[in-house]
Structures are given as structure tokens and as C-alpha cells.
Structure 1
């Protein structure tokens, strides 16, 4: 029911794999290239930036039509780290998801939406409680919709808070909670599990930020055979929900794009603070949904697995 708070334990167990301490994510993609270049690490002021581009290849939609997507995201802002380990950042991000629908029947023939814009602001705060415990909180506000969508009706908010415990030099883990409002849907309350596990000197398992406009949890294995090269495999649950414009197929309606991207990638570090990466993979379990302005489903279809390729970058100065 709309307007209610919904605690979904099944979804929460999945989403608990994701730490959203700065701002969510690209078709997820950039998880590979930002491990060392997010907000916060050296004492004093710094500026960070990260982003990427992903092309999702054309794929068939059940019961008619096909679609492809070009996704772009960039994020940046200032950070301050005190000598006591407290950090605060202002993160500003912009995302673009350009959809291309085709077909004479089914979902594709409706051409339900085209270009989706996302703008978000977040203030991540972390503080060191003692040598083992660290706390974090991150309020976020975001606009997600077509260009002519009503601004107020395309706004959502989120808040994340929790703690991490440093068991050893190789393992940090901790609990948290997130509260997310959704366009014409129930507010979601989800558990969060923070994991940063250095399995060997070169292999690690991480949950962490994505770099795009979507919301969803991610889990990544990283192998770093040298200081400059790293190889990653992983997956994530991904969701992009947005407001449509006033003159489209469904005026002021809602679009919803859900999938599970599975990826692999390679990243190269020019310095410890500057990194670029390439990645590729396939989105499985994809679903597209078109709803009216009140969130009532008009049509919902699954789509075939879709391949994707992309590039990412991250830097801190």
C-alpha cells in the first residue's frame, strides 16, 4: 500500500550486501574503478570525482519489441578529513539514461519513455568512535525523471546510518539501516551489512558504492596482482524508478527498470588517486514496468538477458 513503511526481509537480505555511504550508482557499472578514489582518506581537504559510461545492447522484450540503453554518470564534490578520523563530504551527482525502444507490438511499440535524468545531493559523514568502531550516516535527496517531469513529483529521499567494526587488518564488518522513499510506492526500510575482507594479499571481497543513478546492492571480488592492475568480478541488484513527463504515453506516469547485472572488469591505476577501468557483462532477470501517475501498473514485461560494455574513471585531488 502506498504511503506505508514497508520492511521487506527478503529484499533486505539481498540489499544488506550493499553499503551506500556516498551516493548510489551506473547500470552499475563503476563499481570497479572507485575503490581508492571516493570521499575521504588523506587528512584535510580534497576533491573527488568519479563516473562512467555504459552501453546496454539491444535485447528483446517479452510479448513484443526490444530496447537498448546508453547510461552516463558523473559525481564529485569536496571532502574533509580531520586528524581524529572524522570525515564529511558533499557529493553531487548527475546521471543520464537514454532508452531506445523499437517494435510494432507489445511494450516496445509504446515507446513509453526516452531520456531519464537523475540529479542527487548527499552529505556522507563518518566518525571514528575508537580504534575498532566507526559510525556513518548519509542523507540523500534526488530527482529522477524525464526532462519535462514535474520537479516536485520526481523527488525522493533516503537516509543511511550504521557502524562498522575493524576485527583485524584484513576484516571490517558492521550493521546498518537504510530508509528510502519511492515514487508512488511504499517507503522501504532495509538492513545493511558492511563487508571489507582482505582474503589474501591480492584478493578481497567488498560491498560498496556504485557510481550511477540506480539503487541496489552490490558484491565484488577484486584481484590485484600489482599496484597498478586490478581485476574484478561481481554482481548487483539494480533498480531505476522515475517520473515521466506531462505529455508522454502516460502523462506524469512512472517508469521502472529492474535487473541483475553480472560483470567482470579490468582497472589501471595511474597513481593511487587516479584510476580508469573497462568492464563488460550481462544483465539477467530484467523487468520493465509502466505505471500511471498514482503507481498503478499498466503493463509489466520481462526482457531477455542484455549484454553491456562500459568505461569508468575515478580520481581524488
Structure 2
């Protein structure tokens, strides 16, 4: 079921702290990540809805160490601005189409936004087999700053495995690629427990004052997480999350996309809070 018919507004966001983790060739880093999104939704009925959303993200990196990648101090605070228009259109009780066009700007403080544009979107379809299962394929395509577009498959699923246990497609966080998969257990009418995972890729334009003037930075990893969510009502939820990012890689490129340095980093623990309000 989607949002209630008629107009509604929403505001969601969160804060995550990624704890200090070692970079393979020396040094370490930690990060603070903030995300906010607000918008409006119009739903003519429970099967169809169109939303307009504006979002802002801030990823603050703190690199320390006198050797390797950390010694380069390649970037600090990354701003993300994004406009999206999620559309959910159910043609009947069985078939639903999802489309989410997106336009965004991803840049370090002081970088030119016109050189930091990424655009693309996601499209998919799901088929409802009954009250227990809806599933279907999806695909996302995003242009990249000085690189080939990223194409990623998505499974659109909502599978009620048991009365209180559901496997579903989860929303991505902030400017990173998503979504992922979430296994959710409804412990009570107000309390949910969940575990999940997704692919994270943040690529952004740098300012003109560092080792790579107007260059490109990238942070890529595979976060796995667990969470507990409390619903004050159907319109207000708060979640506490914790987990670890595996297979992480930091990359620094020049303004044309040529690699200057790249290095893997160790498993990085993280924790934070998210909220979701609808009015």
C-alpha cells in the first residue's frame, strides 16, 4: 500500500558517524554524514502517486596520518544537492511501474557546481502474486563526473515471509547509490527490527586549492547494517542504525578523470539515527 489518497508533505533525514578506520597504505579517516530531504506527494488513489523531492547531504571527511593516501589530504566537506520525482503507477491490482528521474550536484566546498552535475534515474516494474509477495526487476542509470555512466540492477520486492517477517527493497541513504535489501521483523505495533545491505558510491568534484585542482574524489563500499525503528504513528518514525562498511576504496583523480591515487580501507564501523515524518 502507498500513501493515503490526496496531498501530503514529507520530511526525512539522518546522521551517521563512520568511525576511524585504517587506510591500507598508511593513515586513517573517519566521516560524518548528514542527509535531509523534503517534498510533496500527490496520490489520486492507493495504487498511484507522484512526488517532488529536494534533498541536501553533507559528507565531512577527517583524514589523518603522514603517509600514503591520508597524507594527501585530498578533500574535506562534500555537499550534495538533488532533485527527484518518484512516480509509482499501479495499472491494476497486479502490475505497478516505478520511475524515479534524478538530477544532482555533488561537490566539495568551493568547487564549481556546473562541473559537478550527475543525472539519471531508476525504473522498474513489480508483479503482485498475492498478499504475500510482490516482485520484479529494475535498473538504475546515473551519469558520472568524468567517467562512464554507472548502471546497476535492482530487485523490487516485498515478500511477507511470515506474519511479522518481511524482505523488501530498502531506500538508499543520501547521495549514495541505492537501494538495497532489508529484512524486517515487526516486533510489535510500534517496534521494528531490521538487517540489510546495499552498495554505496559517492563521486564528487573537488575545489581548485588542493593536490588535484578541480579533480574528482570517490568513496565506494558495501555497508551492512542492523537497526531498530520506533513508530510514534503511521506518519512519524525514528530509527537507530549500526553496522559496518566492507570492501571500501578511496580514489583521487585529476580534472579529466585520470587516476592519481587509490587505496582500499579496512572495514569501517558506523552508527547513527534516521527519521521519517509525513504530514
Q: CA deviation at 1:84?
A: 6.8
Mapped to 2, the partners of 1:314 and 1:82 lie a distance apart of: 22
The question of 1:106 aligning with 2:68 is answered: yes
Mapped to 2, the partners of 1:142 and 1:90 lie a distance apart of: 14
Structural mapping, 1:260-275, within 5 Å? 260-275=222-237
**Equivalent residue in structure 2 for 1:169, among 125, 131, 144:** 131
**Equivalent residue in structure 1 for 2:21, among 21, 35, 59:** 59
Q: Secondary structure in 2 aligned to 1:169?
A: coil
Mapped to 2, the partners of 1:305 and 1:176 lie a distance apart of: 29
Give the structure with the higher percent strand. 2
The equivalent residue for 1:74 is: 36
The equivalent residue for 1:296 is: 258
Check whether the contact 1:280–1:309 (CA below 8 A) recurs between aligned residues: yes
What is the alpha-carbon root mean square deviation over aligned residues? 1.3
**Equivalent residue in structure 2 for 1:91, among 53, 71, 82:** 53
The question of 1:219 aligning with 2:190 is answered: no
Structural mapping, 1:271-286, within 5 Å? 271-286=233-248
The equivalent residue for 1:313 is: 275
Structure-1-length-normalised TM-score: 0.85
Question: What stretches of structure 1 of length at least 5 have no aligned partner?
Answer: 1-35
The question of 1:140 aligning with 2:108 is answered: no
Mapped to 2, the partners of 1:237 and 1:188 lie a distance apart of: 12
Q: CA deviation at 1:56?
A: 0.4
Check whether the contact 2:154–2:179 (CA below 8 A) recurs between aligned residues: no
Check whether the contact 1:75–1:211 (CA below 8 A) recurs between aligned residues: no
Q: CA deviation at 1:70?
A: 0.3
Check whether the contact 2:4–2:45 (CA below 8 A) recurs between aligned residues: no
Q: Secondary structure in 1 aligned to 2:69?
A: helix
Range with greater deviation from structure 2 (103-112 or 212-221): 212-221
Mapped to 2, the partners of 1:82 and 1:165 lie a distance apart of: 20
Q: Secondary structure in 2 aligned to 1:107?
A: helix
The equivalent residue for 2:79 is: 117
C-alpha distance 292-235 of structure 1, shift in aligned 2 (>3 A)? same
Structure-2-length-normalised TM-score: 0.97
Q: Secondary structure in 2 aligned to 1:197?
A: strand
Check whether the contact 2:171–2:178 (CA below 8 A) recurs between aligned residues: no
Structural mapping, 1:15-54, within 5 Å? 40-54=2-16
